[in-house]
Amino acid sequence: MNLSNQVNLHQLETYFIESKRSIAGSIILSFGIVYILYTLSVPLYISLIWFAAILTTSLVRLKLSKHFLIHIKPAAKSTENLSLANLIVLTITSLVWSSAYIALMYYGDNSFDLIAILILIGFIGSSIFSAGAYLPFYLALNLIPTVIAFVYYFNQANHIVPVTAPLILLAILFIFSSAYRYAEQVRATETNHLTLQQAKNDIIKVLGSAGEYRDEDTGNHILRMSHSCYLLAKEIGIDEERAREIESASTLHDVGKIGIPDKILLKPGPLDDAEREIMNDHTAIGYKILDAVDSPVIDLAKIITMTHHEKWDGSGYPHGLQGEQIPIEGRIAAICDVFDALTSERPYKKPWSHQDAAQYLLDHKGTHFDPKLVESFINILPEIISYRLSKP
C-alpha cells in the first residue's frame, strides 16, 4: 500500500473513532429539537418521523464505524466501498437535519430563525473534531444543511438584521475553513508519522538482510517469513497495527547469525554437537545486538529473536520454554520460519513441496509448534503460497 493510501486509511480510522461522539451528540441534540418542535405545535407524527430518521441514520453510522474498526482490511477497494456508503448515509443525515432547521424557521416566529442558525453553527462547529479528520465526510454532513438553512434564512428579508447577517456568514466561513485546516493538519501529521515509520522499517529490513546475507539466502526469505507472520497474526485476531509490528520485528529473527563463523554458518551438511551449540548462540547474539536500541518494534524483535527456536513441548532453546510460556510472537515466528526454510533450497537440501512442508507442521503440532497456530496457518496457506510465488 502506497503512502497516500495509508494516510487515507489513518484519516478514516480517526474519523470512525471520533464519530461515536458525534453520533451520541446528535442523538442528544435531537431530543432537544423534538421538544422545541412540540412547543411550536408541529404535528407529533412529523416530529416522531424526524426522530426515527435521525435514530436510523445514527445506527447505520455506528454500524459502519464498528465494521471499519473491527473488520476492515487495509485494501483500497474495501475502504473505497465503505467510504462511499458512509458518504451516502451522511448526506441523508444532513438532509434530515436540514428539515429540522427549516421547520424551526417555518413554524416559529421571527426569533426562531436566529435560534435555528445558532443551532446550525453549533452543530457544524462541534463536528470539526468528530468528522473533520476526513474532509469529504465533514462536508457531506454539514454543507447541505448549511446551504439550505442559510438560503432559507436570507430569503426571509424582513427577518434579517443587517448586522447579524454578515456576522453569521463570517462565522460559518470561519468554521468551514477551520475544518479544512484541521483535516490538512491530520493528513500532514499522519504523512510525517508514516514516512518516519517507513524509514524505521527500511532500516530494520536492511539489518535483517545482513544476517540472512551471510547464510547464502540472499533472496526474499525475510520478506516471505515476515509477511507470513503478519498473515498469521491477523488470522488469529491480532489487530492491524500490532500485526504490522510483528511483521517488521520478525525480519530480525536471525540477525544474530552475523556473529556465527562462516565455517559453521555455511557448512554444506549437518552440524556436529559442538557446531550446533555455537549455531544456537545466534539467538543470544541477536538479542545483544538489538538490546542497544530502545523502541517498541525492536523490543518485540528481541522477544522473537530469543524465542522463535523454543518448542511447544519444552525441548527447544535457549531457555527450554514450553506451551504458552513462549510468547505468542515467538510461536508465530517459529511456524513461519520453519515453513519457509523447508520450502527453500539450501546448499545441503532441495526445497520441499508446500504440501510436504504443511504436513510437517501438522505432524509436529503439540511437540514443536502451538497446535492452534498450526491450524490457523493451514487456513491461510493459499495466501502464503500466493505471496511466496511472488517472492521466489
Alpha helices in the chain (DSSP H): 3-39, 44-70, 76-107, 110-126, 128-131, 135-155, 164-213, 221-235, 240-250, 262-265, 273-280, 282-290, 296-307, 328-342, 354-363, 371-379, 381-390
Q: Are 90 and 54 in contact (CB under 8 A)?
A: no
Nearest Cα neighbor of 178 from 148, 138, 224 is 138
- 349: which strand partners? 346
Rg (CA), the chain: 29
Burial pattern 351-386, b for ≥16 Cβ within 10 A else e, equals: ebebeebbebbeebbeebbbeebbebbeebbeebee
Give a three-class secondary structure readout of 102-150.
HHHHHHCCHHHHHHHHHHHHHHHHHCHHHHCCCHHHHHHHHHHHHHHHH
Phi, psi of 369, rounded to the nearest 5 degrees: -120, 155
Give the span between the Cα atoms of 113 and 110, in whole angstroms: 6
Phi, psi of 18, rounded to the nearest 5 degrees: -80, -20
Nearest Cα neighbor of 368 from 330, 316, 324, 333 is 316
Catalytic residue check, 257: yes
Query: Which residue in 234, 257, 302, 365 is the catalytic one?
Result: 257
350-354 CB contacts, 8 Å cutoff, 24+ apart: 354/381, 354/385, 354/388
Structure letter (DSSP) for residue 365? B
Nearest Cα neighbor of 387 from 206, 236, 231 is 231
Residues involved in catalysis: 257
